A = this chain, B = another copy of it.
Amino acid sequence: MILTITPNPALDVTYHLQRVHWGDVNRVEAVSETAGGKGVNVARVLHQLGEPVTCTGFLGGETGERLRGLLTGVEQRWVAVSAPTRRTTAVVDSTGTTLFNEPGAPVPDEAWTRLRTLATDLVGDGDVVVASGSMPPGTSEAAVTSLVTTVVKRGAHVVVDTSGPLLRAAARAGATLVKPNHHELRAATGRDDVLAGARVLLGDGAGCVVVSRAEAGLLAVVRQDTDADDPLRTWHARPGSVVRGNPTGAGDAAVAALARALHRSDRPLPDIVAAQLADAVALSAAAVAKPVAGEVDLAFYRRARSAVVMSGPDDR
Q: Which residues of B contact A314 (CB under 8 A)?
A: none
A24 to B91, CA, bound (A): 10
A27 to B23, CA, bound (A): 18
Q: Which A-B residue pairs are the 9 nearest by beta carbons?
A: A62-B62, A23-B96, A25-B99, A28-B102, A26-B100, A22-B98, A28-B100, A15-B100, A27-B101
A82-97 with Cβ < 8 A to chain B: 84, 89, 91, 95-97
A29 interfacial contact with B, CB 8 Å: yes
Q: Which residues of B contact A31 (CB under 8 A)?
A: 102-103
Most chain B CB within a 10 A radius of its CB, from A17, A29, A101: A101
Q: How many residues on the A side are at the interface (Cβ–Cβ under 8 A)?
A: 29
Q: Which residues of B contact A98 (CB under 8 A)?
A: 20-24, 26
**A224 CB, min distance to chain B CBs, angstroms:** 36
A91 to B97, CA, bound (A): 15
**A289 CB, min distance to chain B CBs, angstroms:** 20
Q: Which residues of A contact B (CB under 8 A)?
A: 15, 17, 20-31, 61-63, 84, 89, 91, 95-103
A32 to B264, CA, bound (A): 46
A97 — nearest CB in chain B belongs to which residue?
B23
A15 — nearest CB in chain B belongs to which residue?
B100
Q: A15-B89, A61-B62, A89-B89 are in contact. Are A103 and B23 (CB under 8 A)?
A: no
**A7 CB, min distance to chain B CBs, angstroms:** 16
**A65 CB, min distance to chain B CBs, angstroms:** 9
Q: A61-B62, A62-B61, A62-B62 are in contact. Are A91 and B100 (CB under 8 A)?
A: yes
Q: Which residues of B contact A30 (CB under 8 A)?
A: 103
